[in-house]
Amino acid sequence: YSVRIPLIAGNWKMNKTVTEAVTFTKQVTDQLPDPSEVETAIAAPAILLQPMIDANSGGRLQVAAENCYYENEGAYTGETSPMALKDMGLHYVIIGHSERRRYFNETDDIINRKVHAVYNNAMVPILCCDETMGRRESGEHVHWVVSQVTAALKGISDDEAKKLVIAYEPSWAIGSGKSASFDQAEEGCYLIRQTVADLYSDEIANQVRVLYGGSVNPDNVKGLMAKDNIDGVLAGGASLKEETFLQLTQYK
């Protein structure tokens, strides 16, 4: 039996300037929970990361990246090196967010390479897997979720897999204000944990943290966190304001 430390993570997407990011970080840094009880992270665009790290005087916030490339260096104009993220001191990188899959054509193969690149640089991916309403209505969502997780983890070792964070994010709940029900969210997170158990072992599946994402807010966070297989949340909109992000971290 392992104790999974809850992880409350924000994903800012492309919504803040350096000035705003620094103000936010300074305001929350001393008010966050003890990371041995509840871990907190904000994923932000690469240009905001070093200023946020410098502003994180309390040291409790995990400053994280929203994406990276799968090569460490080379002629890849405009891309972000995972080696450079590690050098900044980062621990988490979001990989495979549904917006990356949809708008930037990230395939399962690209996402798998990125997962390897993050581990090869001694960081941990927050691997996102999505689900559409169409697939849910046709009953295809189970196969879809399983296949995304399986493809993303191809070639990933037991030692790497046990550190993993996976976020279950139904596309119809992202940015829509319409969260999945507590039971739907639990069902999705359970399915992901079972997939990890099938690919690796029950022991590893029990260590992996599974987050729910999709219109999480201060009103629904507690009900979500009460579920057995939900170890944390990934919040977009609600992570943009200091007050609501702090409320998420204080869900207890």
Catalytic residues: 97, 169
235 in contact with ligand PEP (CB under 6 A): yes
Q: Report how many residues bind ligand PEP under the rule CB under 6 A.
A: 13
Task: Check residue 208 for interaction with ligand PEP (CB under 6 A).
Answer: no
Strand partners of residue 171: none
- Return d(Cα 78, Cα 40) in angstroms, integer: 28
Return the residues of window 158-187 that contact ligand PEP according to CB under 6 A. Answer: 169, 174-175
Instruction: Count CA within 13 A, CB hemisphere, residue 132.
Output: 7
Query: Does 215 help bind ligand PEP (rule: CB under 6 A)?
Result: yes
User: Which residue number, 204 or 233, has a Cβ lying nearer to ligand PEP?
Assistant: 233
Cβ at position 169, least distance to ligand PEP in Å: 5
CB atoms within 10 A of CB 36: 7
Smallest distance from the beta carbon of 94 to ligand PEP, in angstroms? Answer: 8
Q: Applying CB under 6 A, does 218 fall inside the site for ligand PEP?
A: no
Q: How many residues does the chain have?
A: 252
Tell me which residues in 30-49 interact with ligand PEP (CB under 6 A).
Answer: none
Helix 18-28 and helix 46-55, axial crossing angle in degrees, nearest 10: 40
Return the HEC string of 148-183. Answer: HHHHHCCCCCHHHHCCCEEEEEEHHHCCCCCCCCHH
**Smallest distance from the beta carbon of 217 to ligand PEP, in angstroms?**
8
Longest dimension (CA), the chain: 49
- Note whether 236 binds ligand PEP by CB under 6 A: yes
- Within a 10 A sphere around the Cβ of 161, how many other Cβ atoms? 19
Query: Which region among 81-89, 183-191, 208-216, 244-252 touches ligand PEP (by CB under 6 A)?
Result: 208-216
Using the contact rule CB under 6 A, the part of the chain among 74-82, 108-116, 197-205, 235-243 near ligand PEP is: 235-243
Look at residue 206 and give its three-state secondary structure. Answer: helix
Q: Which is nearer to ligand PEP, 63 or 204 (CB)?
A: 63
Structure tokens at 25: 């970080």
Q: Of 60, 63, 47, 54, whose CA–CA distance to 11 is shortest? A: 63
Say whether 237 counts as a known binding-site residue.
Answer: yes
The pair of structure tokens assigned to 71 is: 């090569």
Task: Tell whether 12 is in a known binding site.
Answer: yes
Residues in Cβ contact with 187 at an 8 Å cutoff, skipping those fewer than 6 apart: none
Q: Which of 41, 221, 237, 248 binds ligand PEP (CB under 6 A)?
A: 237
Query: Is 139 one of the annotated binding-site residues?
Result: no
Nearest approach, Cβ of residue 215 and ligand PEP (Å): 4
* Known binding-site positions for substrate: 11-13, 175, 215, 236-237
Q: Which residues bind ligand PEP (CB under 6 A)?
A: 11, 169, 174-175, 213-216, 234-238
